[in-house]
Amino acid sequence: MTARDKNSELFTRQYTGREAMVEHYSDEKIKELETTARLIRRHIIQMIFDAGSGHPGGSLSATDVMVALYFDIMEHNPDDIKWPDRDRFVLSKGHAAPALYACLAETGYFPVEELKTLRLIGSRLQGHPDMRKTPGVEASTGSEGQGLSMGLGMALAGKLDNKEYITYVMVGDGELNCGQCWEAAMSAAFFKADNLVAIVDRNKLQLDGPTNQIMSIEPLADKWKAFGWDVIEINGHSFPELLDALHKAKETKGIPTVIIADTVKGKGVSFMEGQVGFHGKCPSEEEYNQAMAELGGI
């Protein structure tokens, strides 16, 4: 059973063309996703605290996008992980692995219990995603800049094999400093890879500081447009906006789509929000307790 099937009664399809809102979601459905996102965020804090290291900031900013994909948008099957027609997700910003692992565990790819093993020796949950070790991970990533190209390869294979699956790639905004991202952007448009969707986790911070101070990527939407992509700009923490944009992206024909998701690094934990210091820092015990309290109420 796919995640889509599970939830199919919660919304009705209303395809009325590219420009129109293609899906209507009930308030309950949105609430359910928000609740799931809080659960995923608790897992993230727990995992990084248990491991003693990891990247909370970029995991928390990426959470809502991944929840929208894994718990609603993507057709995938945890019981048949090699299903050839599955939608693919590539986490190009591999340091947000805790968010991905939590989504995979909660959708049934491996036991939730196993999240405790993040970064431990012998674990299937490596510090950065490993497609050979972790069920459900589609690409080994972590060296910034390569995931969009990998996703493009998957999309090209889909075209060649006349398959309808969509490949989603999440890139970080700092990652867009990498030239390879723009090589991929150029060629995806050239190859008319409309089955490729990029999502930029635009949290506006990279390891050394604000992206506009370290290496500015603005004007970001114009850059993607110039490279031949359809650009959708949204609030990356709003499920109605995320779902709407992801459905639109699916329907776009002839060119690839990028969703620039405006996000907050450390989203959901007050003292981590917008703090560059929590890019790759494990919370102290006190911080952990406060974070878990803030994310409570599931």
228 binds another protein (CB under 8 A): no
Only one of the segments 31-39, 107-115, 147-155, 290-298 lies at the binding site for another protein (rule: CB under 8 A); that segment is 147-155
Residue closer to another protein (CB basis): 200 or 234: 200
Q: How far is the CB of 124 from another protein (least distance, A)?
A: 14
By CB under 8 A, tell whether 158 contacts another protein. Answer: yes
Per the CB < 8 A criterion, the answer to whether 169 and 147 are in contact is yes
259 touching another protein, by CB under 8 A: no
Q: Which two tokens stand for residue 113?
A: 């219990």
With beta carbons less than 8 A apart as the criterion, state whether 297 and 38 touch.
yes
Least separation in angstroms between CB 150 and another protein: 4
Shortest reach from residue 172's CB to another protein, in Å: 16
151 binds another protein (CB under 8 A): yes
Residues 147 and 43: beta-carbon distance below 8 Å? no
Of the residues 32, 50, 75, 183, which one makes contact with another protein according to CB under 8 A? 183
Residue 138 makes contact with another protein by CB under 8 A: yes
Q: Considering only 39-47, 110-118, 186-194, 249-257, which stretch makes contact with another protein by CB under 8 A?
A: 186-194
CB of 26 to another protein, least distance (A): 35
**CA–CA distances in Å: residue 8 to residues 67, 143, 260:** 16, 37, 27
Extract the tokens encoding 78.
């945890």
Residue 145 binds another protein (CB under 8 A): yes
Judged by beta carbon, residue 116 or residue 163, the one nearer another protein is 163
Stretch that binds another protein, among 4-12, 108-116, 158-166, 222-230 (CB under 8 A): 158-166
User: Taking Cα atoms as reference points, which of 1, 3, 100 lies closest to residue 44?
Assistant: 100
Return the residue of 30, 39, 131, 255 that touches another protein, per CB under 8 A: 131
Cis status, amide bond into 219, omega within 30 of 0 = yes
- The interface region with another protein, picked from 182-190, 206-214, 232-240, 245-253 by CB under 8 A, is 182-190
Kindly write out the interface string for residues 78-97 of this chain, putting x where it contacts another protein by CB under 8 A and - elsewhere: ------x-----x-------
Binding mask 45-84 for another protein (x = CB under 8 A): ---------------------------------------x
CB of 25 vs another protein, minimal distance in Å: 31
Residue 176 or 243: the one with the smaller Cβ distance to another protein is: 176
The per-residue DSSP string of the chain comes to --HHHHTGGGEEE----TTS--EEE-HHHHHHHHHHHHHHHHHHHHHHHHHT---HHHHHHHHHHHHHIIIII----TTSTT-TT--EEEESSGGGHHHHHHHHHHTTSS-GGGGGGTT-TT-SS-SS--TTTSTT--S---STT-HHHHHHHHHHHHHHTT----EEEEEETGGGGSHHHHHHHHHHHHTT-TTEEEEEEE-SEETTEEHHHHS---SHHHHHHHTT-EEEEEETT-HHHHHHHHHHHHH--SS-EEEEEE--TTTTSTTTTT-GGGSS----HHHHHHHHHHT---
Q: Is residue 162 within the footprint of another protein (CB under 8 A)? A: no
List interacting residues with another protein (CB under 8 A).
84, 90, 130-132, 138-143, 145-147, 149-158, 160-161, 167, 179-180, 183-184, 186-187, 191
